[in-house]
Amino acid sequence: MVDYGKELNPEQLQVVMATGGPILVIAGAGSGKTRTITYRVARLIESGVRPENVLLATFTNKAAREMLGRVEMLTGIDISRLWGGTFHHIANLILRRAGYLLGYNSNYSIIDSEDSRQLINTCISELGIDSGSEKFPKGNVIGDIISLSINTGDSIDKVVTKRNPYFYNRIDKIEGVASRYQTRKKELNVMDFDDLLINLRRLLVGFPDVLKEYSGRLRHVLVDEYQDTNLIQAEILDLLASHHRNLMVVGDDSQSIYSFRGANFANIIKFSDKYPDAKIFRLETNYRSTPEILNLANMSIVNNERQFKKSLKAVRSGGIRPVLAPAENVIQQANFVAQRVLELISEDISLGEIAVLYRAHYHSMELQMELTRRGIPFEIRSGIRFFEQAHIKDVTSFMRIMVNPFDELAWKRLLMLYRNVGKVTAERIWKFISAQADPLSAVLSDDFLKCVSKKVGAGLEKFRKLIKNLVDSTDSKTPAEIIETVLGSGYHEYLQERYTDIESREEDLNQLGNFSRKFNSLENFLSELALLTNMDEDEDRADRDKDKIILSTIHQAKGLEWSAVFMIWCSDGMIPLARSLKEPEGEEEERRLFYVAATRAKDQLYFCYPLIDYKRGMGNTVLSPSRFIEELTPSSPTAANRLYDQWIVNYSSNFYE
């Protein structure tokens, strides 16, 4: 038998030994929630509950495997029959057995996002929509609209209005494609990942015998990261636990940060409204961070109105106070982080124990360049390296052909941005223009459109106008102005049609334009980018097996921890992100992001922000520290002059001199 009193702290022990019925566990950051769930499952099995009568729902199969492996080691009992895994895994188990009631054969296929995109594009063609000649979203964009509609419970009309308003004049056709997509999946006997969830709900709601079978079998239902569930997932849990009512949900409302993916914050906040007899437990003992870091996190999150009040308490003794490091500009911000990283290394902190977190991917651009210059290896967790992103390479390709008109790769990349231009057409055009003395002038000649069909000509006419605009003023155009010209000449619409995250991609390009102003010519700018990319590749090969600093968005960092954490761009408008404040309850979710980032740090925490930023059309702009930092300071003007003295070390500006 497991000695639970010895293995668990009093808060965890209460949860593990609790009797049945609905249970809500508010598990603060670093409080051992995984350990608590693991021991709860072990105790249920030790008390006589058979493994096949227990369901453990998680958001990753890895988490389920780790927890169940630990349970098996604790109890010495074969638990292979326990229902453990992701919501999609559990849905698939049930649908394989009973999906025939919904008209599916048991051998249905599960399609991934790429298969889904291709099938949606097929539906567009089958409906006779000429996506090549009219502004119409691509398959991946429509797929995102359909998925968000399913996971939030909103109509297609409402999702388009909120997320893609520039396509609202095509709403009837988008709804037609969505309807056709559902029909075609049924005909092909396939389901996408959203279908697994919505079909399981349909099965449990529409067939009482199926609900009776599974809710009767599952005596205990446990779920991890409950704050990340959407409406469908929460309803599925309610249905599966409806017979025995032994539903234990574990999560942290202060770490609910995925509303953009359809996660419903109300699920955890209103759990006790749905289950008035629910027992509520709090795990507030933190094993990760120093008291100084936890005090800061507690002071921040208390400003949210909608939350379960809690205060994390540190097991560890005192440490270093968090650091505020204002920098003159974004270049000095990157310089500070890189320099401090080198100092940490000299203090025997490994690179793998250092992370830099930020709200948006483009915030890391200057830091990526500075770390590369200094030979400090890093790993990007927020996406691919900034300068390797498709939209960045698209725009820099326009610069490349201005500098080198015989850059074949850049030409072909650009040509294929236009409607109906594929590899064959791009090759034909390249052969024509490369045979001329000046490819740029050849594009503007009357013979240019003669080498392609009329179907292609309409799109390429826009390309010619853009090239003419660039050629006429190349000598005076800076990289930033070229970016602005490209965005204003059709590339903005290209982004709308092909990507679901258009705002963040445009922010990337704006930031690239701001950064490019430090270079006095296109040649210097492009050379610097090329050299940095090559250095990245060389370093990746040479240091493949070495520790690397982690660069990550806050969203990607959730659930992880490091000895030292740097938060960069802690400026108002960056964290919180300005566009997020337009969303209902957006500020509170942004504050939860700030809280999540702070609680990733075990020993050292740094808040960095530039005092001055350059924005096109506005010149130099004075930035304020994030409101989440400002709200931690005394309110009186006199006290405000002694910024953060009570809780944070303020780096002297002498550091930068």
For 28-64, how does the pLDDT look when each residue is reduced to its tens digit (9 = 90+)?
A: 999 999 999 999 999 999 999 999 999 999 988 888 8
Task: Specify whether the CB–CB gap between 452 and 428 falls below 8 A.
Answer: yes
How much is the pLDDT for 389?
Answer: 80
Residue range 356-367, pLDDT digits in tens: 999 988 899 899
Phi, psi of 177, deg, nearest 5 = -65, -40
Query: Which whole number is the average pLDDT over 285-301?
Result: 94
How much is the pLDDT for 168?
Answer: 87
Query: Which whole number is the average pLDDT over 141-156?
Result: 90
**% of the chain with per-residue pLDDT over 70:** 90
pLDDT above 70 (res 532): no
Cα 330 versus chain centre, distance: 23
The structure tokens 């490019």 sit at 516
Quickly list DSSP for 444-504: HSTTGGGGS-HHHHHHHHHHHHHHHHHHHTGGG--HHHHHHHHIIIIIHHHHHHH-S-HHH
How much is the pLDDT for 649?
Answer: 53
Phi, psi of 624, deg, nearest 5 = -105, 150
Radius of gyration, CA atoms only, the chain: 28
Show the CA angle centred on residue 155, arms to residues 150 and 161, nearest 5°: 120
Which range (222-236, 299-313, 395-409, 629-643) has the least confidence? 629-643
Cα(433)–Cα(453) distance, rounded to whole angstroms?
Answer: 16
**Helix (H), strand (E) at residue 73:** helix 61-75
Show the CA angle centred on residue 85, arms to residues 83 and 90, nearest 5°: 65
pLDDT above 50 (res 538): no
Query: Which whole number is the average pLDDT over 311-325?
Result: 91
Which two three-digit tokens encode residue 523? 């040649």
Query: Which whole number is the average pLDDT over 640-651?
Result: 45
Task: Specify whether the CB–CB gap between 570 and 608 falls below 8 A.
Answer: yes
How much is the pLDDT for 419?
Answer: 78
Phi, psi of 285, deg, nearest 5 = -90, 115
Query: Which whole number is the average pLDDT over 360-387?
Result: 85
Decide the pairing of beta strands 109-110 and 54-58: unpaired
Residue 399 CB-density burial (10 A; 0-12 exposed, 13-18 middle, 19+ buried): buried
* 61 to 152, 225, 400, 512: CA distances (angstroms): 23, 13, 45, 38
Whole-structure pTM value: 0.79
How much is the pLDDT for 59?
Answer: 87
Which range (93-97, 426-430, 456-460, 596-600) has the least confidence? 456-460
Which two three-digit tokens encode residue 252? 């942290």
Cα(29)–Cα(251) distance, rounded to whole angstroms?
Answer: 10
Please report which confidence band the pLDDT of residue 655 belongs to, taking 50, 70 and 90 as the band edges. Answer: very low
pLDDT above 80 (res 458): no
Which range (295-304, 368-377, 538-547, 565-574) has the least confidence? 538-547
Higher pLDDT, 556 or 646: 556
Please report which confidence band the pLDDT of residue 642 belongs to, taking 50, 70 and 90 as the band edges. Answer: very low
Higher pLDDT, 460 or 230: 230
Which range (183-192, 259-268, 341-350, 515-524) has the least confidence? 515-524
Please report which confidence band the pLDDT of residue 132 belongs to, taking 50, 70 and 90 as the band edges. Answer: low
Query: Which whole number is the average pLDDT over 368-384?
Result: 85
Residue 6 CB-density burial (10 A; 0-12 exposed, 13-18 middle, 19+ buried): exposed
Residue 562 DSSP SS3: strand
Residue 391 CB-density burial (10 A; 0-12 exposed, 13-18 middle, 19+ buried): buried
Extract the runs of DSSP E, i.e. beta strands, from 526-595: 549-553, 562-567
Average pLDDT, the chain: 86
Handedness of CA 555, 556, 561, 566 (dihedral sign): negative
- Reduce the secondary structure of 604-624 to three states and give it as a string: EEEEEEECEEEECCCEEEECC
How much is the pLDDT for 639?
Answer: 36
Quickly list DSSP for 166-215: GGGGGHHHHHHHHHHHHHHHHHHTEE-HHHHHHHHHHHHHH-HHHHHHHH
Q: How far apart are the first and last CA of the chain?
A: 63
pLDDT above 90 (res 500): no
Which range (41-50, 216-225, 323-332, 404-413) has the least confidence? 404-413
Decide the pairing of beta strands 549-553 and 378-380: parallel
Query: Which whole number is the average pLDDT over 590-602?
Result: 96
pLDDT above 70 (res 546): no
Higher pLDDT, 405 or 289: 289
pLDDT above 50 (res 109): yes
**Cβ-count burial 319-351 (b if 16+ within 10 Å, e if not):** bebbbbbbbebbbbbbbbbbebbeebbeeebeb
How much is the pLDDT for 652?
Answer: 44
How much is the pLDDT for 134?
Answer: 64
